[in-house]
Structure 1
């Protein structure tokens, strides 16, 4: 595996922190998926009080038109429509008293709802 690739034309769609990659890889392996082919799908969907929200799920393999970002051993798949909203974002894993989970730090966001679950670009 290479340290970083992006099949979206050279510009990195998303940066993946080491901790986020480690956490996601553990989850992928616990699902019995092959980390050489499978990955984390990061997408944007309609919803939330600000209009858009992030979605994540594990996929066995990328779709033909996906951008494939590979960093720190994790493959992240992003569909073309979502690339428009999350280009330049950073996927990180945060832990703490309020709970642990993945967080997308998106430089394209112009406003978020009060709870931080949805956004507008």
Structure 2
């Protein structure tokens, strides 16, 4: 399955999702009983952490009216306008390692991160 070229069918800022991350998220969506053709992964930025901002992710039944919607490998990703200012150009990946497995955001806008990598500053 391929990834869409642009959000909402138009050119603009991008959020990428790797195939591994999309597969993991779709599996979790399915286990929650959510319809992946409507529901999706919400990626957002919130105040918190030792560097000032942190990422948040959750599943939403449907997008909000002002969300930018990205579709990658069948996964819909919803991003609100305020969060887009901090995370445009980011790549969401799923990593496994000695410290466990989980989703990771590679954000080109970050100027510094805390030591554990859970929070950031732009």
- TM-score band by shorter chain is over 0.9
Where 1:58 maps in the other structure, the secondary structure is strand
8 Å Cα contact 1:8-1:67 kept in structure 2? no
In structure 2, the partner of 1:62 is 63
Cα RMSD after superposing both structures: 1.5
Supply the distance in 1 between the matched residues of 2:51 and 2:72 (Cα, whole angstroms). 30
- Unpaired segments ≥5 residues, structure 2: none
Structure 1 moving runs of 4+ over 6 Å = none
8 Å Cα contact 1:8-1:68 kept in structure 2? no
8 Å Cα contact 1:94-1:101 kept in structure 2? yes
Supply the distance in 2 between the matched residues of 1:78 and 1:57 (Cα, whole angstroms). 11
Q: CA deviation at 1:12?
A: 3.8
In structure 2, the partner of 1:104 is 105
In structure 1, the partner of 2:48 is 47
Supply the distance in 1 between the matched residues of 2:48 and 2:9 (Cα, whole angstroms). 26
Where 2:29 maps in the other structure, the secondary structure is helix
Q: CA deviation at 1:67?
A: 0.3
Aligned length: 121
Where 1:83 maps in the other structure, the secondary structure is helix
TM-score, scaled to structure 2: 0.94
TM-score, scaled to structure 1: 0.95
Where 1:82 maps in the other structure, the secondary structure is helix
Describe the superposition over 1:95-116 as per-residue Cα deviations: whole angstroms up to 9, x where unpaired.
0111000000000000000111
8 Å Cα contact 1:13-1:83 kept in structure 2? no
In structure 2, the partner of 1:3 is 3
Q: CA deviation at 1:92?
A: 0.2
- Unpaired segments ≥5 residues, structure 1: none
